[in-house]
Structure 1
Amino acid sequence: MRYLMMYEDRGLEIVLAEGQYVWDSKGKKYLDMYTGHGVAFLGHRNPHVVRALVDQLGKVMTLSTTFRARIRDEMLDVLSKVVPQRFEYVYLLNSGSEAVDFALKICRKATGRKKVVYFAGSFHGRTFGALSITSSNPRYREGFEPLLPETYRARFNSIEESDKLIDENTACVVMELIQGEGGINVAGEDFARFIRRKTLEVGALLVIDEVQTGFGRTGTVWAFEQYGIEPDLFVAGKAIGGGFPVSAVFLPSEVASKLSPGDHGSTYGGNPLACAAVKASTEVLINDGVAQQARYKGNIFLSRLRTSLGAYRIVKEIRGRGLMIGVDLRIRPDDIIKCLQGLGLIALKAGNTVVRFLPPYLISENDIDFAVQALEM
């Protein structure tokens, strides 16, 4: 039997991962700034998360949420320390796409409306609902259309287009404050605040996708904190489980009250291992000051990249926040990403022209210098 490959084979067999590094089958060490599309933000095999998972494995591994579990209550208690008080409810799922799909269902039921507005350059996942509001790469949609009806795309950072599309028929607006897959495109503050005002004005719900930006990566626990806004729902994933597959939808009581048992379900969602992973990851986030470290190290990384690469004609722009950074080139980045891998640095692509860096918060200044020097070569 062969595995059905949906990603390009990078030609490496990884046999060990720890912290910010991985090793291949030949013993070569790499600085990992790919981190499973940003999942290993707390570092590969974070010791606190591993201990929590091993401990839970010795107790209960499989349990439907129809039964009570102490680890779930413990997770909720810790998680409440990093989530704004308005969001009294959370529902766990297994991937970012699943969380987005559930958020879309919530918005349609809670508002009684059907229209969904999203943005050019967005990536929310590849399940049917999430794909319907994904536009970072037209190829992702080819062969699968028609997708969900009544989904409308506006230009990212365009107040004018958004103003025309968001109206009294809109159930929700779904947005990333930094488009990861789309090219590390950062939402302007005026734009983000307009979207919040407009959705309130017409009675639509604002959903912010924090799957890649959230849990400290951009320098605050949630990216929306940097914009002085709060959404009506937000979704999280990737780093929130410290490497364990889990995602979450956060919502306030006035939205949760519109839902009934049976409106959604998940065989694995909220399982004891996921709860243990989220609890432990949140403890790391708090105790290690992860968001603050990401902001500090991200500023150093951005500054050194701009100083070293800013004069290169091939470099169009260097942008990002915290440890979510992109180097936008005037050429396709594929060959450069391969060269970096040969030098011991693993990065990934965003959009058509961006080299994307999603390192763990554990990176040192020496790691940053190594990455910058590799790019200079």
Structure 2
Amino acid sequence: MLKYLMFYEDRGLEISYAEGQYVWDSNGLKYIDMHTGHGVAFLGHRNPHVVKALTEQLNKVSIASTSFRVRVREEMLNILSKIVPNSFEYVYLLNSGSEIVDFALKVARKATGRKKIVYFTNSFHGRTFGALSVTSNIRYRRGVEPLLQDTYQAKFNNVDELDKVVDNETAAVIVELIQGEGGVNVASKEFAKAVRARTLETGSILIIDEIQTGFGRTGTTWLFEQYNIVPDILLAGKAIGGGFPVSVAFLPHEIASKLEPGTHGSTYGGNPLACAAVKAATEVLIQDSVPLKAYDKGRELIDLLKKELSGHRIVREIRGAGLMIGIDLRIEPTKTIKCLQNNGLLALKAGVTVLRLLPPYVINRDDIAYAVNVIGKCIEESSS
């Protein structure tokens, strides 16, 4: 019998059912999900509006090349235009975060005629060759190098280094304003504005990777809004499909106009089911004021965590925005994560020492209170 090739740790849990902010295992035990498939189920598991849209589309047309028109694609484009700045005139869909990062890097080189790509320490943009080339963790890169040439790493949140690294040979700078996998590291406003200013000065393309931070999770539709900057290329994924595998790039006319037919292609990218999922997820985002709810619930969760963990000797810092939260510990968090799972709460790791929480926006006050209590208990047990 075949075995599944595992690259993630087996958590020893068979999930048999999921709904909203909860999952149940094969023994019928219930868990509050703050893992959400690395943030994918931000709108809640099996969001009813998304499920309905997918079911209806499945009964019409499930697959068609983008060479052919389908009504749902036009409907998706219409509603997506309501949640991005007017500077973005084009949308391209692929299937995963890594794919859309590769696409953006390819587009940047094509549009500028330059080769150099700048990324930052503790970044994570994916594990395909292009995305891995701008991911800093050596553990992911070891054994598969050489990767893309002409990629250069700069220090995250270091303004002084930007003038030295980003120059007139730079095609693009790619950045996460909160680094998820890297440790829930938050970009300073000074740094973000300096990156934007330097890319404009050098004619480089600014790519902001909002695959995890975007689509309402951090308290605004897009995190870049909180920094009063706008990227040249915006990348989204995870939550934007409401659980369906899809990623999105938003591009302005001046970049898209430099791409000719055949520049890129994808068998499944932009398929009718993906379009239906993105359309429905965006309708939920708008109609249910998702960013505002994420902001309010995230603030409550962070405030309670700070109160619960204040002065705890192994807690360095609690940071993040909205419902993207990191608890930086003085120990490796695996033991804590296992304790949380044993007490009905699913979470995940970020960086080396960070406990990461990515709950869905439908989480309620009772869930938050329970989670904070369990986190405090498990951190206390882990420190003894």
Identify the TM-score tier after normalising by the shorter chain. over 0.9
Question: What letter corresponds to residue 217 of structure 2 in structure 1?
Answer: R
Q: What SS does structure 1 have at the residue aligned with 2:201? A: helix
Mapped partners of 1:91, 1:34: distance in 2: 27
Matches within 5 A, 1:191-340: 191-340=191-340
Q: What's the offset of the Cα at 1:83? A: 1.0
Mapped partners of 1:315, 1:185: distance in 2: 15
Question: What letter corresponds to residue 315 of structure 2 in structure 1?
Answer: V
Q: What's the offset of the Cα at 1:160? A: 1.2
CA-to-aligned-CA distance 1:65-122 (integer Å, 9 cap, x gap) = 0000100000001111111111000000000000000000000010000000000000
| 2:164 is the alignment partner of 1:164 | yes
| 1:57 corresponds to | 58
Q: What SS does structure 2 have at the residue aligned with 1:159? A: coil
Q: What SS does structure 1 have at the residue aligned with 2:215? A: coil
Mapped partners of 1:265, 1:217: distance in 2: 29
| 1:103 corresponds to | 104
Mapped partners of 1:293, 1:138: distance in 2: 37
| 2:188 corresponds to | 188
| 2:364 is the alignment partner of 1:364 | yes
Mapped partners of 1:376, 1:60: distance in 2: 49
| 2:139 corresponds to | 139
Q: What's the offset of the Cα at 1:311? A: 1.1
CA RMSD of aligned residues (A): 0.5
CA-to-aligned-CA distance 1:314-344 (integer Å, 9 cap, x gap) = 1000000000000000000000000000000
Q: What SS does structure 2 have at the residue aligned with 1:41? A: coil
Mapped partners of 1:49, 1:139: distance in 2: 36
Q: What's the offset of the Cα at 1:310? A: 1.7
CA-to-aligned-CA distance 1:239-280 (integer Å, 9 cap, x gap) = 000000000010000000000010000000000000000000
Matches within 5 A, 1:17-96: 17-96=18-97
Q: What's the offset of the Cα at 1:163? A: 1.9
Question: What count of residue pairs does the alignment treat as equivalent?
Answer: 376
Question: What letter corresponds to residue 299 of structure 1 in structure 2?
Answer: R
| 2:374 corresponds to | 374
| 1:115 corresponds to | 116
Question: What letter corresponds to residue 24 of structure 2 in structure 1?
Answer: W
| 1:15 corresponds to | 16
Which consecutive unaligned segments of at least 5 residues does structure 2 have?
A: 378-384
> Which portions of structure 1, spanning 4 or more consecutive aligned residues, are displaced by more than 4 angstroms?
none
Question: What letter corresponds to residue 105 of structure 1 in structure 2?
Answer: K
Q: What's the offset of the Cα at 1:369? A: 0.6
Which consecutive unaligned segments of at least 5 residues does structure 1 have?
A: none
Mapped partners of 1:224, 1:280: distance in 2: 23
Mapped partners of 1:134, 1:175: distance in 2: 10
Q: What's the offset of the Cα at 1:159? A: 0.7
Q: What SS does structure 2 have at the residue aligned with 1:42? A: coil
Aligned-pair identity in percent equals: 68
CA-to-aligned-CA distance 1:178-225 (integer Å, 9 cap, x gap) = 000000000000000000000000100100000000000000000000
Question: What letter corresponds to residue 264 of structure 1 in structure 2?
Answer: H
Q: What's the offset of the Cα at 1:162? A: 1.8
Mapped partners of 1:244, 1:295: distance in 2: 24
